[in-house]
Amino acid sequence: MKDLVAGFIKFKTEVFPERSELFKQLARKQSPEVLIITCSDSRVVPELFTQREPGDAFVIRNAGNIVPSYGPEPGGVSASVEYAVAVLGVRDIVICGHSDCGAMKAISTCTCLTHLPAVANWLRHSDAAKMINESREYRSPEAKLDALIRDNIVAQLANLQTHPSVALALAQKRLNLHGWVYQIEAGEIQAFDELSKQFVSLADNPGVCALRSH
């Protein structure tokens, strides 16, 4: 906690005064252009590796960067997606997974989660990815995990499209969907390409998109 408080004091005394005009504008409204759905993992900071300013991105974080399919009892993720699309009018949604994901590792290794019932229940939203992943053979456990991380992104992109606000925005051609894998050690991003159905380097293919509607 001492480090957190020290960080706030530095922000208050050094950073905030230099950016006070920006924060005055943000105090009145927000108009982010993108919704980023990523993992709660402490090593994943989307505002850092995309170099976004406050107010630029609406962010949802949870274990495994999961988007439950829309249902009769929508939860916090559903509400946040709906608000970002229907109210804020974001033009792009990025589902961003990452290397060495603990949630995906638990699925990949069939870890017993009886002592973590809430986690076990949450990860069931990745069952489609798990089934697809287990239908293949892999050269190593690491290769299986890397594949599952990507399979999960594709599965969550499919789940995302079951949300009415997203379906409407796609039909009206005012929303694009993106699937990324952030490589922590290399500082790289692999992005899902709707044409090849493969993950490619985002740096080499900056225009790549998982589903383009406009």
Catalytic residue set: 39, 41, 43, 98, 101
**Measured distance CA(112)–CA(13) in Å, rounded:** 47
**Measured distance CA(147)–CA(130) in Å, rounded:** 10
Sign of the Cα torsion 135, 177, 163, 63 reads positive
Residue 42 three-state SS: coil
Neighbouring residues of 206: CB distance < 8 A, sequence distance ≥ 6: none
CA 139 centroid distance within chain: 27
Backbone angles phi, psi at 74, to 5 degrees: -60, 145
Residue 44 three-state SS: coil
33 burial type by CB count under 10 A (0-12 exposed, 13-18 middle, 19+ buried): middle
**Measured distance CA(171)–CA(81) in Å, rounded:** 16
Neighbouring-strand partners of residue 38: 61, 96
